[in-house]
C-alpha cells in the first residue's frame, strides 16, 4: 500500500474515532464545575437569543430589513453556534444546578451533536446570505436558523 493511501486510511480512522469521542458528554467533576457550565450554557443561549431577536423581527416583517444588523448578527450567530457544543458537553445532572436542560440531553448526545451540526450549517448559510446582501434570501436563511433552534428546544429544553 502506498504511503499516501496508508496516510489517508489512518487519517480517516482518526477522524472517525474523534467523531465518536466528540459525541460523548463528560461528567461534571464537582458542584463548582457543574455550576460554571450551567452558567456558561445560559449565557451562550442568552447571547444567541439577543442576536436572533432582531433577525426574527426582520423575517416576520415586524422590523425593517437592515443589512448591517443582518451581517453583524449573522456573524455572531455563526460564532456562537461554533461554541454551543463546548458548553453542552458537560453533564451536570448529578449536581444541584439551575438549568433548562432536560436530562435526556446527555442520554441522546449524538442526536444533540447532530442538531448542533444543523445549526452550524444554518448559521453558515445565514452568514453567506448576509455577506452577499441577498435581501430575497434572508427570510429563508433566518427561518432555517430558527427551526434548528426550535428542534433542539423541543427535545432538550425544559420549560
Supply the mean pLDDT for the chain.
87
SS (H, E, C) 59-106: HCCCCCCCHHHHHHHHHHHHHHHHHHHHHHCEECCCCCCCCCECCHHH
Say whether domain 3-156 belongs to CATH 1.20.120.10: yes
Q: Is 152 annotated as a binding residue?
A: yes
HSE of 123, CA atoms in CB hemisphere, 13 A: 24
How do the domains of the chain map onto residue ranges?
3-156
Q: Is 98 annotated as a binding residue?
A: no
Angle, alpha carbons 122-145-84 (nearest 5°):
80
Return left, alpha or beta for 90; rule: phi > 0 is left, psi -120 to 50 is alpha, else beta. beta
- pTM here is 0.81
> pLDDT for 83-105, tens place per residue?
999 999 999 999 999 999 999 99
Amino acid at each position: 500500500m502506498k504511503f499516501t493511501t496508508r496516510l489517508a486510511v489512518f487519517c480517516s480512522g482518526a477522524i472517525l474515532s474523534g467523531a465518536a469521542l466528540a459525541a460523548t458528554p463528560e461528567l461534571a467533576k464537582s458542584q463548582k464545575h457543574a455550576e460554571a457550565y450551567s452558567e456558561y450554557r445560559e449565557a451562550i443561549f442568552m447571547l444567541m437569543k439577543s442576536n436572533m431577536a432582531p433577525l426574527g423581527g426582520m423575517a416576520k416583517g415586524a422590523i425593517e430589513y437592515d443589512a448591517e444588523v443582518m451581517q453583524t448578527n449573522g456573524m455572531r450567530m455563526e460564532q456562537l453556534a461554533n461554541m454551543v457544543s463546548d458548553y453542552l458537553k458537560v453533564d451536570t445532572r448529578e449536581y444541584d444546578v439551575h438549568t433548562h436542560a432536560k436530562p435526556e440531553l446527555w442520554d441522546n448526545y449524538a442526536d444533540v451533536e447532530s442538531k448542533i451540526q444543523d445549526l452550524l450549517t444554518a448559521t453558515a448559510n445565514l452568514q453567506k446570505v448576509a455577506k452577499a446582501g441577498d435581501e430575497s434570501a434572508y427570510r429563508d436563511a433566518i427561518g432555517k436558523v430558527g427551526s434548528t433552534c426550535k428542534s433542539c428546544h423541543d427535545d432538550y429544553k425544559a420549560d
